Amino acid sequence: MREDIKARLDEYTRMINDTLSVIGTDIPEGTKSVCDAINYSLNIGGKRLRPVLALEFCRMCGGDVSSSLRSACAIELVHTYSLIHDDLPCMDDDDYRRGKESCHKRFGEDIALLAGDALNSYAFEVISSEAEKGNISYETGIKLISVLSSHIGVDGMVGGQVIDLESEGKNIPLKTLDSLQEKKTGALIEAACLMGCILAGVEKDYSSYLLAKRYAMCLGKAFQIVDDILDVEGSFEELGKPIGSDKEQGKCTYVTALGLDGAKEKAKELTDNAIKYLSGFEDNEFLTELTKELLIRKK
């Protein structure tokens, strides 16, 4: 990665990690176990891609990054909840996540379930408290909550997980795989980009809002295809989780649908398209380079 791009990414990551570590310090009496589980899962080395996207769209659209920080971190709370629940035995039953024990493996299923539940609603608590404190306006708060909540329910992330569950062991058409992944992975990435625009005061019918949406769609899909490729070609050491779990679980992926070479070609094409949509923004260099990096990532 280019030095200047890496430096900016590190700066974003540091700001996000600092904010998340403050978010997790209030431990009401008797709830240490669930707070430990929350903090454990929040801090086992996520890429922080979603809040980075939100903050960078906010910045590119002329918004203020520092007053948007906590609202952007709300997206990481939702992402973390979804990973905890996705790893549960009744779901993907994954024992490892980012090279460490998954939440339920470490804290038990009951505590992991509750940690995910708390993180889900906590995202909305964080955004509403930002509005109450005046860091963002009431209107901005409502718009952020509207976009986030509508992207993670049955018509978004959860819907994608349902289609995923019901597709296991089946040969599904590419159209269904697209719809599954647009919701399961794509919806939250889209929410992150749109929340960045909203934090900068961009209205829904502005062209930059629409460009952000199109960018997010391409990036989300490219991101998922790379995930699928890494599940075949990656290593446990770099990924922090066992390779081949998709195949083991009988999941249809972009690799099974398009072949390894076809999947790589598709990811490249989507990345190129994503970058084209960024040309509508001034000062798009950081995100352009980051988008390229996500294509060649090893984890």
Note the residues at the interface with a second copy (CB under 8 A): 26-31, 33-35, 38, 78, 81, 85, 88, 90-91, 108-111, 113-114, 116-118, 120-122, 124-125, 127-129, 131-132, 137-139, 141-143, 145-146, 148-150, 152-155, 158-159, 161-163, 165-166, 176, 179-180
Q: What phi, psi does 27 have (nearest 5°)? A: -115, 100
Q: How far is the CB of 88 from a second copy (least distance, A)?
A: 7
Pick between residue 154 and residue 174 the one whose CB is nearest to a second copy.
154
Q: How far is the CB of 131 from a second copy (least distance, A)?
A: 5
Least Å from the CB of residue 220 to a second copy: 17
Nearer to a second copy among residue 130 and residue 289 (C-beta)? 130
Do residues 197 and 208 touch, judged by C-beta distance below 8 A? yes
Nearer to a second copy, 131 or 193 (CB): 131
Least separation in angstroms between residue 137's CB and a second copy is 8
Which of residues 63 and 160 has its CB atom nearest to a second copy in the complex?
Answer: 160
Tell me the C-alpha distance between 6 and 12, whole Å: 10
- What's the min distance (Å) between Cβ of 128 and a second copy? 4
CB–CB of 202/54 below 8 Å? no
Nearer to a second copy, 28 or 66 (CB): 28
